[in-house]
Amino acid sequence: MGEKYVLGKPLYNLNELRKKFNNLIFVDCYSEHSAWGPGEINDYDYMGYERNEKYFCLKDYVKFLDSNLKCLLQGKNIILTGDVFLCKKYYMFYKIQSECKNVVYYSILNDKKAEEYHEWMPLAEEGTVKKDDIILIYAQEYCYSQKIIQKINKNRSVSKLYVDRLKQEGFCNYLLVKNNIPHNQITCNVKYMEDRLTPCLIIMGAMMTDCGNSLIRVMLNKHHKIISMNYGLLNENLLWFCVKLAGEKSDNILKIFWKLVREAVGENLVDIEFCNVGLFNKKMMEMLRLVDRPTSQQLFVMFHLAYIAMYGKDISNVSDYIIYWEIHGTLRTMQPEYVSWLYAEEIKGLVLTNSRNCLVRAGGLLKHMKRCGEFKRTDTALLRVILE
């Protein structure tokens, strides 16, 4: 208990806190819009930490300056580790804006991708990382929709791989950084550029799971001008594929993309997520010829067009089409950031939401589980009442 420290402060998990302290008050420095009751806020409320009495979302009251711990990192040696493509996106911020002493990437797991794709980001030489350096871990945990892939990756934690290795090497001054969209990808002046890669409208689905998500998707898919992906690896993790690949040379995009996909699902399960890799690659290569180093927003459009090409819908100019994108189960508190990322003056945007109370959502989940055959028996008194 209390053995882990970050920036001189002890860290505790929830159970440790409840055992050690009485009359706890929690201040959530990340979430906002607490009246919406997103997941974690409801969980704490059930445990007796009522919203705005013992559990506060600070962003409901205060607007933070986006400093990214600038004052704490000033004059320090910063060691980036984790996903080399994510680290590349944040390297320039720490190098230029944080006023730190030095910034390097440490390939603690000896990732071959780091040697091949680090480009301008310097690599730490062996033995140069010190115990008092600040180590920032950028790791992505993939989301899965396919049951077979979920089962295989059930106990997999990318973050834990890095944490365990750091502990083995005796490092304790590390921090798992929450992945936010890099600021320059949100504020850049030109996002879509090429007219053929600029849709007339983007609709973002902003609902929690079991809120009629599939029904809405089926209705929208009936429209011949609406493009969307099925639930799966690419749809659920699209944002981070786009963020990581943005700015890479177009000739390298597909090579890197398939490396990331194989890491996420394994070599043998790629065909479950991508029904026709050949058609996908053909469409991607066609569009990648239009740009030298695509932006994350251009990749967002390209991936949608390549995905539907696998199902026989070949579109070369998206300017007259609508893209519908909904990440299944993403907290609605994340949607404003996603909207800012995709926003451009030349594109119309809509946010579509649907809400159900917790009891109705739970009933919908149970019926879905029944359809999927996840109950060994459904003749118990409780399930008979719910499912009938």
Residue 132 and residue 123: Cα distance in Å, rounded? Answer: 18
CATH architecture, domain 70-176: 3-Layer(aba) Sandwich (3.40)
What token pair was written down for 101?
A: 């002493």
331 pLDDT band, cuts 50/70/90, is low
pLDDT at 1: 39
**Residue 88 burial by CB count (10 A; 0-12/13-18/19+): exposed, middle or buried?**
buried
- In sequence order, the β-bridge partners of residue 287 are none
Tens digits of residue pLDDT in 146-200 = 766 666 666 678 888 898 999 898 888 888 887 788 888 999 888 998 888 999 9
* Residue 67 reports pLDDT greater than 60: no
Tens digits of residue pLDDT in 255-313 = 999 999 998 888 888 888 899 999 999 999 999 999 999 999 999 999 999 999 999 99
User: How many CB atoms lie under 10 A from the CB of residue 369?
Assistant: 14
Residue 40 and residue 115: Cα distance in Å, rounded? Answer: 39
Boundaries of every domain in the chain: 5-60, 70-176, 183-352, 358-387
Q: Which whole number is the average pLDDT over 247-260? A: 94
Tens digits of residue pLDDT in 22-61 = 889 999 887 777 777 666 777 888 888 888 899 998 888 8
User: Rg for the chain (alpha carbons), in Å?
Assistant: 23
Residue 297 and residue 105: Cα distance in Å, rounded? Answer: 26
Q: How far is CA 250 from CA 13, 194, 290, 342, in A?
A: 43, 15, 9, 20
Q: What are the two backbone dihedrals, phi and then psi, of residue 116, each rounded to the nearest 5 degrees?
A: -85, -35
Q: Which residue has the higher pLDDT, 63 or 287?
A: 287
